[in-house]
């Protein structure tokens, strides 16, 4: 059975089972449910090893059987986790009933349902108004109702962002930080896209864990390793969620920052795991990293001076993608396509980490190509475009890349 995942009140059906809507649960209850899902598997494996519970096993045989069963359970968990499902694709939604039918969502109580229905109604109005403006040529981007359209602002920020700073992390980052530089005399094209070069892994999904910082970090390292070696690794966000420490300003699903993560990888862990050996489970767990899991190493990281988008462009064209911060709004949550130009995102501080993989221009508007961690069903196959040249949404304030 493939483990279901949850967004707000939605939990996906298990593979081979009918769709079962489950109520909104907090993270501790979610962890308990995952344990309960695995417990029968452990019992079954143990039973198979023992030949039945009345087999009169000796101590050594019992210990070996338990060890083998535990190993098989761990492998089973890994296989389940590798298949974290995508959010449901929502289409042609006219009202909350349509949304519930397509998303499978359910809620704790009538009051909870009313709360989320109100949020959904406001988001639906936002989408309709935004698309009306786009149709009239007054907006450069389209919106859409999606699986996230009933999330309250606090749910959105806790589940789908996750950028957090701290004095501890800043102290560690300072010791590992270098100033950005690019090869002298390098040719800088007018447009560039690392996806076209094969230097970007598939769009991933952070689920309900505030781990955007981990996805931005792995994406940047993956791209720079590709540029250096010609081989694209797929690196583990779960490794960083589990193993990152408060000493480095990393709090798992409660937030972190790409600079802190790169300092941790370089100074403390001396590498980062491959994803297939350390799959994503949408929760913080105990650290399981070992050197044999390592898929990449770095020697530090470099940062772009704030608001220097010219240097951003040069670094992307010559070295690789950038892990950057921005201020993510609820209009971004509903983004479908186009160049996202909601001016309100210039009014707040960065709260979300993303990966800038390229740049280009359309109808006279320069833009950045940004990889998000909200799955392929969101946006332009998991990407969005952001105006380039005026620090839109704070995109040029906190950009970092690994030194490999």
List active site positions: 212, 352, 372
Contact 321/219 with Cβ under 8 angstroms? yes
Cα–Cα distance, 163 to 161 (Å, whole number): 6
Cα–Cα distance, 188 to 212 (Å, whole number): 29
How many Cβ atoms from other residues are within 10 Å of residue 104's Cβ? 18
What letter does residue 10 receive in the DSSP assignment?
A: E
Contact 38/77 with Cβ under 8 angstroms? yes
Residue given tokens 């992390």 in the structure block: 169
Classify each residue of 348-373 as buried b or exposed e, where b means 16 or more C-beta atoms within 10 Å of its C-beta.
Answer: eebbbbbbbbbbbeeeeebbbbbbbb
Contact 324/369 with Cβ under 8 angstroms? no
Cα–Cα distance, 137 to 366 (Å, whole number): 17
């Amino acid at each position: 059975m493939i483990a279901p995942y949850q967004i707000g009140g939605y939990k996906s059906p298990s593979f081979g089972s009918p769709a079962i809507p489950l109520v909104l649960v907090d993270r501790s209850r979610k962890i308990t449910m995952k344990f309960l899902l695995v417990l029968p598997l452990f019992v079954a494996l143990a039973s198979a090893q023992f030949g039945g519970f009345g087999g009169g096993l000796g101590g050594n045989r019992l210990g070996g059987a338990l060890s083998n069963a535990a190993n098989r359970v761990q492998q089973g968990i890994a296989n389940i986790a590798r298949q974290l499902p995508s959010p449901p694709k929502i289409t042609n939604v006219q009202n909350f009933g349509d949304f519930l039918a397509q998303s499978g969502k359910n809620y704790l109580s009538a009051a909870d349902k009313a709360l989320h229905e109100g949020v959904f109604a406001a988001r639906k109005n936002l989408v309709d108004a935004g698309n009306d403006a786009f149709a009239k040529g007054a907006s450069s981007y389209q919106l859409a109702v999606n699986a996230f359209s009933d999330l309250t602002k606090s749910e959105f920020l806790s589940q789908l962002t996750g950028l957090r700073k701290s004095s501890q992390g800043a102290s560690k980052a300072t010791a590992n930080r270098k100033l950005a530089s690019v090869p002298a005399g390098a040719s800088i094209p007018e447009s560039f896209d690392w996806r076209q070069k094969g230097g970007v892994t598939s769009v991933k999904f952070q689920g309900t864990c505030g781990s955007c910082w981990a996805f931005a970090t792995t994406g940047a390292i993956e791209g720079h390793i590709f540029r250096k070696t010609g081989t694209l690794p797929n690196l583990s966000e779960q490794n960083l969620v589990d193993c990152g420490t408060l000493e480095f300003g990393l709090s798992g699903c409660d937030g972190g920052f790409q600079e802190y993560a790169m300092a941790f990888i370089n100074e403390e862990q001396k590498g980062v795991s491959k994803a297939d050996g350390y799959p994503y489970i949408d929760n913080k767990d105990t650290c399981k990293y070992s050197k044999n899991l390592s898929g990449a190493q770095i020697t530090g990281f470099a940062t772009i001076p704030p608001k220097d988008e010219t240097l951003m462009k040069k670094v992307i064209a010559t070295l690789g993608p950038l892990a950057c911060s921005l201020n993510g709004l609820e209009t971004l949550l509903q983004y479908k396509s186009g160049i996202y130009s909601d001016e309100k995102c210039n009014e707040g501080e960065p709260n979300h980490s993303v990966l800038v993989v390229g740049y280009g221009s359309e109808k006279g508007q320069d833009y950045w190509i940004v990889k998000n961690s909200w799955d392929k069903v969101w946006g332009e196959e998991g990407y969005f475009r952001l105006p380039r040249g005026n620090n839109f949404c704070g995109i040029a304030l906190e950009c970092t890349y690994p030194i490999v």
